[in-house]
Structure 1
Amino acid sequence: MASELRAGATGNDPGGDTGLRVQCVAADLGCEQGLRRASAALRELLQDASFGRLLLVNNAGSLGDISKSFLDFTDLQEINTYFSFNISSALCLTSTALRAFGARPGCSRTVVNISSLCAREPFPSWALYCAGKAARDMMFRVLALEEPQLRVLSYAPGPLDTDMQLLARTRTGDPGMRQQFQRMQEKGQLIDSSVSAQKLLQLLKEDSFPSGAHVDFYDI
């Protein structure tokens, strides 16, 4: 459940050259100590008044135990741990970042939630993941409604060719879903992460989506 907070910003260095500064903070966002560590790093970074734009991408997430069906989830600690990492940490980090950056005159602020088709469609054996993604979408819709000066986007990147997809086609408890994922891999239907990332960048550059919208890779 360990995650890495990566923050980057452009600015002027002491020599007068414009460059990119990247700060990586390893933190377990599923526990209180890790969340405090990440939040403190965000607050420290965003105190820099020279930053003219905030782009926050909430990408940390996990599948949960996809070998289980709905009726197998009876352990409250397991369920709470999943939602703490996949929902609560995104809420806390986003709030922390927006408070630290503030509403600076002339500065744009954009929040991206990495979503999924599972936010809208039920997948058997994926009760935790579907519930978490649906909750995050609604959470960020509320943010868009409360803060109309923000730009908020939930982006579903499509079936990416990642380790998470490998888990999906090998550990999904429902046989039909597992075989469907396997067929996608065999037919070359998985998407390279860089291709999906470019579509997200295109979306952000055009900036024509309604704030709070859910946009899928295949919608573009």
Structure 2
Amino acid sequence: MKAIVTGHSRGLGAAIAETLLARGIAVLGLARHGNAGLVAACPQLFHERAIDLSDVAALQSWLGGDDLRLFLAGCTSILLINNAGTVQPVGAVGSADNAAIASALNINVATPLILANAVIAVAAEVPEKRILHVSSGAARSPYPGWSVYCASKAALDQHARSVALDRVPGVRIASVAPGVIDTEMQAEIRATPLARFPVRGKFEALQRNGQLADAGECAGRLVAYLLDDGFGAEPVTDLRD
């Protein structure tokens, strides 16, 4: 079994990669920045590639080489965890920079869909392929200032639903909302000006009241679900349900 994790350099992505490695699963991390801690801890099992996941052309160039095929060679089960994401740009419609919208959609939507397509195509003969999109409650609950973020997470949910209907042999997929986690993204949300994100107080209260989930604990639950026999029975789910 081998796994690909996007956004492995910090936060939930780093915790997911660490959890997989602790189970003896080889991991390929894709992110703009590296994770020296994982390299030092698991030099035999952990591999990483520096890719700006907002740059679709760079991603396609990498996929055009042999790197992915060589990493997946010989395995009988593949895990793809599309974790990388951004909450930016935040603000009412009409206030965002168009380039920032395009970059966000590349990271949050285009990259996960391209990677899912590429992994399934490259590993057509591999018996089992499991894809987990890290979604959000924002996919189902709209927030003022988060039109881009909410729309991008809803896109992942719909992608999972549609792929499940394709019934490609050996493919299981789920778009999973992990809950509100204590990561740098949450700190970024709390630092957003109220004029751009009027419901900031809700997230400040979650942090103040100790209601943010620990990244390591959440990663453990996500990985346990990904490896469970029931994974993919529901293409869209929430770990808190």
Shorter chain as denominator, the TM-score bin is: 0.7 to 0.9
Structure 1 gap segments, 5+ residues each: 11-18
Out of 171, 175, 187, which is 1:166 matched to?
187
Counterpart CA distance in 2 for 1:20 and 1:36 is 27
CA-to-aligned-CA distance 1:116-141 (integer Å, 9 cap, x gap)? 00111101111111000001111122
In the TM superposition, residue 212 of structure 1 has moved relative to its aligned partner by: 5.1
Counterpart CA distance in 1 for 2:56 and 2:135 is 23
Out of 69, 72, 81, which is 2:95 matched to?
72
Q: Secondary structure at the match of 2:88?
A: coil
Out of 208, 222, 225, which is 1:200 matched to?
222
Out of 140, 145, 164, which is 1:125 matched to?
145
Deviates further, 133-142 or 157-166: 133-142
Q: Higher strand proportion, which one? A: 1
Task: Report percent identity of matched pairs.
Answer: 30
Counterpart CA distance in 1 for 2:137 and 2:240 is 10
Q: Secondary structure at the match of 1:71?
A: coil
1:13 is aligned to: none
- After superposing on structure 2, the runs of 4+ consecutive aligned residues of structure 1 that deviate more than 6 Å are 5-8
In the TM superposition, residue 205 of structure 1 has moved relative to its aligned partner by: 3.3
Counterpart CA distance in 2 for 1:35 and 1:63 is 21
Give 1:174's aligned amino acid.
F
Per the alignment, do residues 4 and 188 of structure 1 end up closer, same or farther by CA in structure 2, a change over 3 Å counting?
Answer: closer
TM-score by length of 1: 0.82
Deviates further, 192-201 or 109-118: 192-201
2:45 is aligned to: 21
Q: Does 1:157 align with 2:178?
A: yes
2:36 is aligned to: none
Out of 60, 64, 69, which is 1:36 matched to?
60
2:33 is aligned to: none
Counterpart CA distance in 2 for 1:127 and 1:38 is 30
In the TM superposition, residue 79 of structure 1 has moved relative to its aligned partner by: 2.1
In the TM superposition, residue 204 of structure 1 has moved relative to its aligned partner by: 2.5
Question: Are the equivalent residues in 1 in contact too, given 2:56–2:111 (CA < 8 A)?
Answer: no
In the TM superposition, residue 206 of structure 1 has moved relative to its aligned partner by: 2.8
Question: Are the equivalent residues in 2 in contact too, given 1:63–1:164 (CA < 8 A)?
Answer: yes
In the TM superposition, residue 209 of structure 1 has moved relative to its aligned partner by: 4.4
1:95 is aligned to: 117
Out of 164, 178, 184, which is 1:144 matched to?
164
Counterpart CA distance in 1 for 2:234 and 2:133 is 10
